[in-house]
Amino acid sequence: MQRVIGAVLVLGITAGASCQRAATVTPEVVAVRAAAVPEDPGDRAWQSVPEHVARLLVQDVVEPRLLQPSTPEVRVRAITDGSLIAFRLEWADAELNDRPGPGRFADGCAVQLPQKSAAPAPDPQMGQAGHGVQIAFWRADWQASVDGRGDSITDLYPNASIDHYPFDAPSLERGSETQTKMARRFAPADALGNRRGGLRSSAVEDLIAEGPGTLGPAPASVSRGRGVRTPTGWLVVIVRPVPDGLSPTSRTQVAFAVWEGSAEEAGSRKMRSGWAGLAMRGPS
Amino acid sequence: MARVYNWQIGREMSYWYPESRPKRQFAAVFDTNKCIACQTCTLACKTTWTSGKGQEYMLWNNVETKPYGSYPLAWDLELLEVLNGGRWNGRTYEGETIFESAPAGARVLSWRPAAEDYAYPNVGEDDCAGQVDGGAGFSLPHMAWFYYLARICNHCTYPACLASCPRGSIYKRPEDGIVLVDQGRCRGYQECVKGCPYKKVYFNPMTGTSEKCIACFPKVETGLQPQCFVNCIGKIRMAGYISRPEAARPDNPIDYLVHVRKVALPLYPQFGLEPNVYYIPPVHVPPAFLRQMFGPGVDDAIETYRNAPNDPDLAGLLALFGSSESVMMRWARRGDEIVGADDRGTPLVRVLMREPVHVRPAFDRLYQITRTNCP
């Protein structure tokens, strides 16, 4: 019950936040200096921050391409404390998609930054060889897991019927090494450390790429974030270290992408922006 | 797209990658006439590989009843519909493959099953939909026939799953042609699930990656046949390696059945994948249906198979099915005895063309007593 009340409160706050548009709309993303970066999408600090509207284009450069446009734009605000930067992405989405499954795709978004700020900027489409990009990627199904959804097939399909899992045999001590090992035998991706599903402690994943098809895990997890559903779509905050090249006197670039689950968008089937300028404003 | 040669359709075709055949190609022959749909193969696979969370409705091996059964639902009808038929001119396919008819923005022509399409394996496939009074009461396009189609991944020469993956997470092993999903690299985009026309790649919602039949490669690497083969009650299956037609060896069991006698045929060759599981077609099914499913070689294959009682080589080789857990690379018939051997010619198994018959009379004259069948 407490969780339900909490969710209602968050929805109320975020609905209010999305109604109060920022006074200024900027042609680039301006990260406003503050004492701390808010991780809550409904934090009042977001209300006074200028907003950048990133127009989204269909990814129609590499196969598989997206041919039908879905999400037209994402509204972005940013706050920094000098060492961390928080991006809040807001976009309209009529349908909640947070359950994985065959033929099911989760809503998602990503913030992309050049790995190094030196000019020229990498190709905005996932970078290029020798000019990589770093990406913080948030997904709605991971958020649902962080928010408490269970890790069983009936959490995804309430009417699913299960006969037996060998690693749930009464003869195996729950949580024992033998039991864990047997469960992993049937989950090879998990065994290889490729955590794409299941229980998660973070809804955000750090990635690097040097061109389409080269996406891989970043050497370290540096980003965190949280997404909440609003009556009209999503509000997602992604917090990560201030990127290379961004300071009160220098700027860099940032790009965004949104995946609409109901349109079967995943991987390269996505709506994406070009590079936008990313600047810092306020007392240093 | 590259131009590659697909011998099953008798011509060159377009494919996403250049032709690169493995050193040897894992292949199999299934005799549909022997299958009784006991699903022992399905369970052998399930207990070995797919008993985990997220694999509940995942059947790397399944057996479905044709013409009405399918798993996932309507996997073949959906694609046949979008492929819009296809023309054969003799043994040459003149229609478009799924690679050649790929729509803009995609690498293959395909469709995507919904979650519900996986929800009811085998349900209702063999059931009458209503009361049948006074004999056959159906009024369906297919009246009084059906057969069982056992299916695994075809470990295709030109896999559509591999072509569909934008990350290169699917690979075909150069040593044996087995097609695998790299579970460390897959990001669960499900392009392969959509792209495979046989729908033999499955998405696991718990691991978030796509998984598929691995041809029991840990067994195959040690010279053993996969689990679904050795557990087959009806002994319908034989695993081995297939050569290209021009390099076929009559002493290779798979080559003999596919290339020499042409009694085993690929599943939907018109899709263009050069699948490597070959089926001896059911002899009692209308040929028009079978031609659509197995291509233009069906009529000759059935005639050859029906003549097996007068064809000791063919009948002998069929007797080798299910006789050994080992992969039989070679075979030979010596009179009534058939020998399966490894690649050095060392015998692995010997079977007789006909099992010796011993009649045990119900009445034992010596002891003047009637025998019972109690063990």
Largest CA distance in chain A: 65
Domain ranges of chain A: 2-150+199-281, 164-197
pLDDT score recorded for residue B355: 83
Residues of chain A with pLDDT under 50: 1-19
Please answer yes or no on whether B57 and A187 come within 8 Å at the CB atom: no
- Give the closest residue to B216 by CA, choosing from B204, B225, B208, B207: B225
Residue A74: exposed, middle, or buried by beta-carbon count in 10 A (0-12, 13-18, 19+)? buried
Q: pLDDT tens across B360-370, in order? A: 888 999 999 99
Length of chain A, in residues? 284
Q: pLDDT tens across B8-31, in order? A: 999 999 999 999 999 999 999 999
Q: What is the mean pLDDT of residues B66-90?
A: 91
With b for 16 or more beta-carbon neighbours within 10 A and e for fewer, the A77-115 pattern comes to: bbbbebebbbbbbbbbbeeebbbbbbbbbbbbbbbbbbb
Contacts of A239 (CB under 8 A, 6+ apart): A37, A39, A84, A85, A86, A87, A223, A224, A225
Q: What is the mean pLDDT of residues B86-94?
A: 94
Tally of helices (H runs) and strands (E runs) in chain B? 10, 19
Asked if A207 is an interface residue toward chain B (Cβ–Cβ < 8 A), one would say: no
User: How many angstroms separate the CA atoms of B345 and B340, rounded?
Assistant: 9
For residue B299, the surrounding DSSP H or E stretch is: helix B298-306
Domain count, chain B: 1
B25, part of any domain: no
Task: Quote the radius of gyration of chain A (alpha carbons, Å).
Answer: 20
Q: Which percentage of chain B shows pLDDT scores above 70?
A: 94
pLDDT score recorded for residue B375: 54
Cβ contacts of A157 on chain B, cutoff 8 Å: 115
Return the C-alpha torsion angle A142, A147, A148, A150, nearest 10: -20
pLDDT score recorded for residue B130: 47
Please answer yes or no on whether B167 and A267 come within 8 Å at the CB atom: yes
B305, part of any domain: no
- Give the closest residue to A17 by CA, choosing from A193, A233, A220, A260: A233
Question: What are the φ and ψ backbone dihedral angles of B79, each rounded to 5 degrees?
Answer: -75, -40
Length of chain B, in residues? 375
- Give the bridge partners for B147, in sequence order: B66
Domain A2-150+199-281 indexed as CATH 3.20.20.70: no
**What residues make up the domain containing B74?**
32-123+144-222
Cβ contacts of B187 on chain A, cutoff 8 Å: 196, 215, 267
For residue B64, pLDDT beyond 90: yes
Of B47, B105, B207, the CB nearest to A189: B207
For residue B300, what are the CA distances in angstroms to B66, B303, B307? Answer: 21, 5, 11
Residue A78 and residue A243 in contact, taking contact as beta carbons nearer than 8 Å = no
Asked if B180 is an interface residue toward chain A (Cβ–Cβ < 8 A), one would say: no
B62, part of any domain: yes
Cβ contacts of B203 on chain A, cutoff 8 Å: 100-103
Of A156, A188, A198, the CB nearest to B183: A188
B308, part of any domain: no
Q: What is the mean pLDDT of residues B71-79?
A: 95
Q: pLDDT tens across B276-309, in order? A: 999 999 999 989 999 999 999 999 999 999 999 9
Q: What is the mean pLDDT of residues B322-351?
A: 97
Please answer yes or no on whether B107 and A63 come within 8 Å at the CB atom: yes
pLDDT score recorded for residue A6: 41
ipTM value greater than 0.95 = no
pLDDT score recorded for residue A9: 39
pLDDT score recorded for residue A5: 40
Residue A76 and residue A29 in contact, taking contact as beta carbons nearer than 8 Å = yes
pLDDT score recorded for residue A164: 87
Give the CATH number of the domain where residue B85 resides. Answer: 3.30.70.20
Return the C-alpha torsion angle A50, A51, A52, A58, nearest 10: 170
Contacts of A63 (CB under 8 A, 6+ apart): A268, B105, B106, B107, B166
User: How many angstroms separate the CA atoms of A216 and B45, rounded?
Assistant: 32
Confidence class of residue B131 from pLDDT cuts 50, 70 and 90?
low
B58, part of any domain: yes
pLDDT score recorded for residue A1: 38
B51, part of any domain: yes
Residue in the structure block whose two tokens are 């040929």: B287
For residue B334, pLDDT beyond 70: yes
Strands B25-31 and B277-280: parallel
Between A50 and B371, residue with greater pLDDT: A50
Please answer yes or no on whether A103 and B184 come within 8 Å at the CB atom: no
Among B170, B191, B209, pick the best mutation site for testing chain A contact (most A Cβ within 10 A).
B209
Q: pLDDT tens across B237-252, in order? A: 999 999 999 999 999 9
- Strand, helix or coil for residue B195: helix
Among B190, B191, B194, B213, pick the best mutation site for testing chain A contact (most A Cβ within 10 A).
B190
B48: nearest CA partner in chain A? A186
